[in-house]
Amino acid sequence: MRRQIGKKILIYFFLFLIVGSVNNTTLIRVQFENIKNIQISGLSKNQNMNLLKNIENLNLKKIFYLNRNEISKIISSNSLIENYEVFKKYPHTLDIRIEKTNFLAKINYNGKIFLIGSNGKLSDVKFADKEVPFIFGKPEIEDFIKFTNTIDKSKFSLNDTKNLYFFPSKRWDLELKNNIILKLSKDHTLLSLDQAFEILNDGNFKDIKVVDARIKNQIILND
């Protein structure tokens, strides 16, 4: 009886090894299968295709051993991209979801016109998808992004602007789409924006051409 029990235990043990080996082999084959499909969304059809070609040139192999740094370098070098996420879809698909940057203005940089994105990067003007104001002067991109953040906090919108003028003192003027010029304070930019807005929306002031808000709590109007 003991010999029979012992034989049964040995049989069950060998069956366990065989089944376990088959399952493990199947699991390894699934987890380490080559990447066969890369899905990219968020840009235009042509832009998605160009990005796909650049990523395919990496010759990515196993999805389980995916090197995200390689993909990140390719995506981050694309000036049209604000944010992105990469999802693994087992067994062999990558899903890359793109958030396109928002173009804020145009600028002349070394004799060529570029778009400035909300990601702080310069893009070829051919990618323009809307009308944006033009920057006169030579601000650092960081200074411009900081200025647009201030506009967003104010009662104005960058969409109301036709041109922006940057001065070496790091002060800004705005030319609105109705051709009114706003002269803004360097040190109290948000306050000067909101004060100018109140003046322009006051029915008592008409035919205004220039709103000078450079001095704190003082507005000078020129018609």
Order of strands, sheet of 103-109, starting from the edge strand that comes earlier in the sequence: 122-124, 112-117, 103-109, 134-136, 161-166, 172-176, 181-184, 210-213, 220-222
What tens digit of pLDDT does each residue of 109-141 get? 999 999 999 999 999 999 998 999 999 999 999
133: preceding bond cis by omega (within 30 degrees): no
Domain locations along the chain? 1-30, 32-100, 103-222
End-to-end, the C-alpha distance of the chain in Å comes to 113
Tell me the pairing of strands 103-109 and 134-136. Answer: parallel
pLDDT for 41-56, tens place per residue?
999 999 999 999 998 8
Residue 32 tokens, joined? 């380490």
Q: Is 204 helix (H, G, I), strand (E, B) or coil?
A: coil
Identity of the amino acid at 207:
D
CB 211 within 8 A of CB 182: yes
Helices (H) and strands (E) in the chain, counts: 5, 12
* Average pLDDT of span 20-31: 46
Q: Which CATH architecture does the domain made up of 32-100 adopt?
A: Roll (3.10)
> How far apart, in whole angstroms, are the C-alpha atoms of residue 162 and residue 174?
8
Q: Which CATH architecture has domain 103-222?
A: 3-Layer(aba) Sandwich (3.40)
Residue tagged 């200074």 (tokens)? 143
Whether pLDDT at 25 is above 80: no
Q: Please, what is the average pLDDT of the chain? A: 85
- Find how far residue 223's CA is from the centre of its chain: 41
Per-residue pLDDT for 69 more than 60?
yes
In this prediction the pTM is 0.79
